[in-house]
């Protein structure tokens, strides 16, 4: 009986050992399954082609539409100033009165001399007529007639001389009234009452500026000009003549000017010091918001990009060589790296020239947790960030280059 009981106890011990071992293996497997890392999560945006209007933001300054420097045409003492500094003056309005006394005396003297010359003229004319009749009858000699006729012609010349002298004196007398040559805002007066004004002096009495409308002059690099021309010729950029003539404007404080301007012309001469050409736009300025010399930013329309690809700037990084790259998730959920070519920055997005196509899923969040070749799980799709109008600032253009 004892010999039979021992094998039974051994069998039970083996079964118990196997059961314990099996439980341990199951627990280890479950623990291993629980500790395996999950797939990294990323957020993507789907690449879509869209139509946008491309514009370029360029710095510039305003300049007056018309500028007139008021200078005296005659010399004399300024008797009175007839305008308020900074006010609006009309063309022909009296600004300064120069002492007219010496010019009035010169005019009166010339007028008196003219009257004297004119008084002598009828008698000499009548005498020359009689001598002509007598000469025909042989009553007077040719020499006597020539002397009388010469005196008559001298009298005519003297009348013409004094008529010109009277006209000159009248003009100089009129110049004592210094009037506004154009309508506009007049600045400060450089001379006071009682000061001596000199004819055609180098320092103007005052300056009048007309700035409704007003010019805005901005420089554009020849590099951008050539790039724009090539894109239009290739057909990638559609240029509409009327649309390209419209120009927007931002003021120094960042606010937008409410009235659009019109592009007047592009200069044909390149500034060799800066390799730029000058653009001039004209803006209505009914409320005098824009003053000459103000720094502004003009938004110039380039054209319409019909198949533009925009991606958020946070989706782009740089490789060791400094070239722009982005990460996408392929159809199998694997991360792939793409080298791209960036055209420019538009707001908080990049305009991609090449490297991406419609349907690509670009990673915008979670890039630091993944690397090319790693499977990921896309948790959500972000906004595609499409905008109807896009413009480039000089700082963004420099960053792109």
> Could you tell me the CA-to-CA distances from 160 to 118, 152, 166, 172, 390 in Å, in that order?
9, 13, 10, 19, 72
Strands 276-283, 41-46: pairing kind: unpaired
pLDDT of 398 reads 47
pLDDT of 242 reads 62
Give residue-wise pLDDT tens across range 257-310. 999 998 888 888 888 888 888 889 999 999 889 999 999 999 888 777 878 889
pLDDT of 23 reads 60
Phi and psi of 28, rounded to 5°? Answer: -65, -40
Residue 292 token pair: 């000459």
Burial class (CB in 10 A: 0-12, 13-18, 19+), 214: buried
DSSP letter for each residue of 219-237: EEEHHHHHHHHHHHHHTSS
Q: Can you tell me whether residue 246 is helix, strand or coil?
A: strand
User: Quick count: other Cβ atoms within 10 Å of Cβ 134?
Assistant: 15
Strands 94-98, 335-339: pairing kind: unpaired
Crossing angle of helices 142-175 and 101-137, rounded to 10°: 160
> Could you tell me the CA-to-CA distances from 145 to 122, 141, 154 in Å, in that order?
17, 7, 14
Give residue-wise pLDDT tens across range 71-86. 999 999 999 999 999 9
pLDDT of 386 reads 37
Calpha distance 275→269 (Å, rounded): 10
What 3 state SS string does 27-59 have?
HHHHHHHHHCCCCCEEEEEECCEEEEEEEEEEE
pLDDT of 56 reads 83
Q: Which H helix or E strand runs over 29?
A: helix 2-35
Calpha distance 64→60 (Å, rounded): 13
Length of the chain: 401
Q: Taken in order 175, 178, 184, 187, is the CA torsion positive or negative?
A: positive
Calpha distance 221→276 (Å, rounded): 4
Peptide bond between residue 213 and the one before it cis (omega within 30 degrees of 0): yes
Query: pTM for the complete prediction?
Result: 0.66
Contacts of 140 by beta carbon, 8 Å cutoff, 6+ apart: 131, 134
pLDDT of 256 reads 93
Residue 271 token pair: 């500034």
Q: Which H helix or E strand runs over 323?
A: none
Q: Domains in the chain, start-ordered, CATH in brackets?
A: 41-54+306-400 (2.40.420.20), 55-64+212-304 (2.40.30.170), 74-98+176-203 (2.40.50.100), 100-174 (1.10.287)
pLDDT of 140 reads 79
pLDDT of 61 reads 94
Contacts of 119 by beta carbon, 8 Å cutoff, 6+ apart: none
- For the chain, which residues score pLDDT lower than 50? 1-5, 32-33, 382-391, 394-395, 397-401
Q: Which H helix or E strand runs over 355?
A: none
Calpha distance 311→362 (Å, rounded): 8
pLDDT of 397 reads 47
pLDDT of 132 reads 82
pLDDT of 71 reads 95
CA 368-310-304 angle, to 5 degrees, is 165
């Amino acid at each position: 009986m004892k010999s039979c009981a021992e094998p039974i106890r051994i069998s039970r011990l083996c079964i118990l050992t196997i059961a314990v071992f099996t439980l341990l293996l199951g627990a280890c497997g479950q623990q291993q399954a629980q500790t395996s890392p999950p797939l990294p999560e990323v957020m993507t945006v789907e690449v879509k082609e869209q139509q946008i209007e491309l514009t370029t933001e360029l710095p510039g300054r305003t300049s007056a539409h018309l500028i007139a420097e008021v200078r005296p045409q005659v010399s004399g003492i300024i008797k009175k100033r007839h305008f308020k500094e900074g006010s609006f003056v009309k063309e022909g309005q009296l600004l300064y009165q120069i002492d007219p006394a010496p010019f009035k005396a010169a005019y009166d003297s010339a007028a008196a001399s003219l009257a004297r010359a004119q008084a002598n003229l009828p008698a000499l004319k009548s005498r020359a007529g009689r001598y002509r009749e007598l000469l025909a009858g042989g009553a007077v000699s040719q020499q006597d007639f020539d002397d009388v006729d010469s005196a008559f012609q001298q009298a005519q010349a003297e009348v013409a001389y004094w008529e010109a002298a009277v006209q000159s004196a009248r003009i100089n007398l009129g110049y004592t009234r210094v009037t506004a040559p154009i309508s506009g805002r007049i600045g400060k007066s450089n001379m006071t009452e009682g000061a001596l004004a000199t004819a055609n002096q180098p320092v103007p009495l005052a300056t009048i500026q007309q700035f409704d409308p007003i010019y805005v002059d901005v420089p554009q690099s020849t590099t951008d000009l050539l790039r724009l021309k090539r894109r239009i010729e290739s057909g990638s950029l559609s240029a509409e003549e009327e649309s390209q003539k419209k120009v927007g404007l931002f003021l120094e404080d960042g606010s937008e000017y409410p009235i659009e301007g019109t592009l007047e012309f592009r200069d044909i001469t390149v500034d060799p010091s800066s390799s730029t050409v000058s653009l001039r736009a004209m803006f209505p300025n009914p409320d005098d918001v824009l003053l000459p010399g103000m720094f502004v930013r003009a938004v110039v329309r380039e054209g319409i990009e019909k198949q533009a690809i925009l991606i958020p700037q946070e989706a782009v990084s740089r490789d060791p060589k400094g070239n722009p790259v982005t990460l996408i998730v392929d159809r199998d959920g694997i991360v792939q790296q793409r080298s791209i070519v960036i055209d420019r920055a538009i707001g908080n997005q990049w305009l991609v020239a090449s490297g991406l196509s419609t349907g690509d899923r670009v990673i915008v969040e979670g890039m630091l947790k993944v690397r090319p070749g790693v499977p990921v799980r896309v948790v959500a799709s972000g906004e595609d960030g499409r905008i109807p109008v896009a413009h480039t600032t000089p700082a963004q253009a420099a960053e792109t280059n």
